[in-house]
Amino acid sequence: MRSKAEARARALHRREALGPEYRQEASRGISERLRQEGVWREASVVFLYCGYKDEVQTAELMEAAFREGKSVFLPKVVSDSGMVFVQADPAEELVYGAYGILEPSMTGNPGAEVRPDIIIVPCVAADRRGNRIGHGKGYYDRSLVKYGDIPFVCLAYDCQLADEFETEDTDIKMDMIITEKEIIRL
């Protein structure tokens, strides 16, 4: 079994090796797969993320959510160890926040009291048992623990699927992993 650090390094290397055209097409395909799922179609409040660098890109997914009348909340880092979800407004530009990731300004409605219908999560690596590895800061695991009854959906390129790797009790398990090639339901 691989360590998290080893699985993260291998997956980052494979993801970085994908060409920009492939990532763009794969992101589009992943978004379309998600939009066909009942968990998306039935959702009215969506916690989403803005794809950073070579992550699965979500701009088209966010636009689709707005067209479909969904409320979209995006993560905003507020401290070294915490983030909150803030409502995105289709009429407002996103701003670059911590780590150079696009996020809403704090003028948006913080989602502290909002119950999402679905939570879309980025990853560096994931396995077929629903385990996910992020960049190692733990923002998602700490922030999402209170939403254990909400479906967690991880978006990843197929090359990010990994064999078993070490996990910790604090890791949040995914309910679904969507790649450009398949949907893994857990």
77-107 tens-digit pLDDT: 887 768 889 999 888 888 888 788 888 876 6
User: H helices of 36-151, where?
Assistant: 38-41, 59-67, 139-144
pLDDT at 155: 98
Average of per-residue pLDDT across 133-138: 86
Q: Which domains does the chain have, with CATH numbers?
A: 4-185 (3.40.50.10420)
Indicate whether 51 pLDDT > 70: yes
Cα–Cα distance, 58 to 61 (Å, whole number): 5
Quote the strand ranges of the chain, DSSP E. Answer: 45-47, 71-77, 83-87, 95-96, 102-103, 118-121, 125-126, 132-133, 152-155, 176-178, 183-185
Buried b (16+ CB within 10 A) or exposed e, 42-80: ebebbbbbbbeeebbbbeebbebbeeeebbbbbbbbeee
Residue type at 99 in one-letter notation: Y
**pLDDT tens-digit readout, 6-43:** 999 999 999 999 999 999 999 999 999 999 999 999 99
For residue 133 the two structure tokens come to: 């590895």
* 117 torsion bin: left (phi>0), alpha (psi -120 to 50), beta (else): alpha
pLDDT at 109: 57
pLDDT at 78: 83
Q: What's the full length of the chain, in residues?
A: 186
Beta bridge pairs of residue 176: 153, 185
Average of per-residue pLDDT across 51-72: 96
